[in-house]
Structure 1
Amino acid sequence: MEAKSYTPWIIKYRPKKISDYIDQDEAKTILLTWIKSWERGTPTKKSALMYGPPGVGKTSLVEAIAGEFGYEIVETNASDFRRKDDIERRIKPAATKTTLSGKRRIILIDEVDGLSGTADKGGIESLFELVSITRHPIIMTANNPFHPDLRILRDVSVMIELKKMHQRDVVKVLKGICENEKVLCEDEALKIIHSKNEGDLRSSINDLQSIAESFGRVTVDLANQLVYYRDREINPFDTLRTIFTSKYSWQSKQAISHSQVDPDTLIEWLSENIPLQLSEPEDVYLAFQALSRADIYKGMMKKTQNYDFLAYVIDMIGPGISLSRKKTKFKWIKYEYPKRIKLMGETKKARELLNSASQKIAKKMHCSSSTAKSEFIPALRAMYRTNKSEAEKIMRSLMLEDNEIKIILGSSTGEKESSGEAMDPKQQKESQKGSEEVQRKRKTSKK
């Protein structure tokens, strides 16, 4: 073997152009189409969000495309610039200004799933605003892009998934490196390295270099002795697929323990996708029966604060679902994001405004927020339909802001007014009753 090089092989053999990049054909096509839309000046979305397991080549693909199209890369890690002030000071100038040479640039932001909407003081919102004003392509990467906090970034980005690499492709890359480095390697040893790294090319190359530079060869015995299985997080799609295909209890439990989503969220994913994956009615019945039992145990755990029940929850959503597939033949399907979680994310702002209004009403009326929400707000809505000016006066006296008033009144009021629909006598009677109730409570409060 030639003299040892201390350059990391993961850097030395990083693809310089797209043709050097192996596998991920679908991701390459989507990203190339998007970059070409920037070249024409007509991008449908100004940012792309690339996601997939660690080590599949998200950053390498961006660098290969940048090299081929002549883009300069401004690379940052979201974990280093977590706050709004950091992003506006460091990233915003690069995204909104051109270079002195006129060279085009790509803004690459790694690990955006490391940001927290609550702890990082506006970091996600600042990135969202940055996307709307950028003059250059913004590419973000994430291992898990499905956290609720990242919804606003998903909505404005082209979503590009990179999957785990196939064994043949990883072995091909590792074998090419061995040939270039003039290192004797056994094909079975390379397969072991791939298997223990679960498709993570970066870790596979690092392990290959470690063995080759230490022993001058890569054999089956050395790979078995020196390469260890790594604990990895599994995205929700792979978690579901593992649960539905597991033949043994330990397989589905292991998938849950390594999943990127918690058991509560996983229940929502399973509820949405059981009817898609299981086609036989008996299998669907058994799966939902296991899921309902998991929900019961979850409720008992929260009510009693006895977290021993968590083991039963995992048994139901893991082995319980896996063993319910008795007649259905497994087929590859596209799993759907839970509609309930999506809806909760979309209505979060409205719920926050409604809670804010309820708290203001409760303070003025000397009642609980739940009472304000269940009694006073419906009465205000009813009053607005019969006596708009009086209802507005009351809401202003409660110190409610315009956006809170809009949430209280809802969209149905505006729709009925614009369409000119009249309320039937029963509705008018209910509205009048609600109006009288609000006025009575107001008088009581003043006394």
Structure 2
Amino acid sequence: MPEPAPFSSLHRHRQRRDRLATALITAGGVGVLLAVLAIGIFLVTEVLPLFLSDSGPSLTALWQPQANVDGVVEYRWLPESLKGGGIPQLNLLPLVWGTLEAALWALVLAIPLALGAAAHSSLFMSPRLRHRIRPTLELMEAMPSVVLGFIAGLVLGPWAERHLAETFTVIAALPLGILLVAGLRRCLPGSIRHWLSLRWAALWLIPCLAGSVIVALWGASYWENLWFDGDLRAWMEIHLGLDVQARNALILGLAMGFAVMPGIYALAEDALSDVPKELCEGAQAMGATRWQTLTKVMLPVALPGIFSAVMIGAGRAVGETMIVLMASGNTALMSANPLDGLRSLASSIAIELPEAVVGSSHYRLLLLAALALFIFTFVVNTLAEVVRSRLRQRLVRQRSMR
């Protein structure tokens, strides 16, 4: 047998280049893992002296209500009392509550809009329009969070405080306007519905939503004068005992929702677009509508990717700092009222850590808050990966059984 021809110099060069790229990627992955491990070890070693010291607080005391100067037992975070000589209130529960509340309101806004936009663009939207709108939505993710925090804290919050009735009316009018337009479209003749195609709904819905906002702003003063004597905010303070703040959880959730939504949309749209076209075309060939194809075929197949998109958005919302810092009011209170302010773990670290003395109890408590945020984010991401892997394995088994 003739001996195989020796490798050419070009082939050997490509092999060396591939090995180098593989080594760099592996080194980068190992470096990231080591960096995360080093962060965890640093936080643990800095926090441990807080509980080993006899003068330090116990771990259970940080999660229980404490008495203030007036003897009232409540959940508060007031580390400034350490400097003023008063009774310190060092309770981490209000910070955890604020972190979860801010993330919840952000996801309440972001998940329906992002998943709805992803489903529409992947199945209904015209390809030409999709190629123009998707990059625009993805560019929203590049907007600095400090800009969103500035707009929410200094523009949107004060306006909503002065025009509370208009704010509630616009929030209610937008989904109702979409449902009304959808109902009216079904009643129109087929020739007119052809011009109002779902392929171009992203364009003709814009004037409809603008009209809904105008009608809401015009009618807000009418029902405010009719039911609340012309001042909804005063009525809520008198009858409900609710003190409306300019920077509150509702405004914060709106700003954070717009920050989280592009990432969820991009990942969910990729998951839906990766569904094999043969499945969608086969379902429609058997008589399924587009909505049935979406709910019965595309969503089950793309569920692992959609779940990952939602969990990544939740991780972004939990760790957000600048928007919470500028739009929340930074009041560490445990309140379920969305019109009250809040304070998160990340914003407390950003505000107080530069002024804390290294090695002091205040410093170690802030690092404990950082450790709690680190553990929470790590557990959520790990759980998301485990659930996503199991969903994908179950889907593969179902395919093999068929």
TM-score by length of 1: 0.24
Which protein has the bigger helix share? Answer: 2
Which protein has the bigger strand share? Answer: 1
Work out which of the two has the higher radius of gyration on C-alpha atoms and give 1 or 2. 1
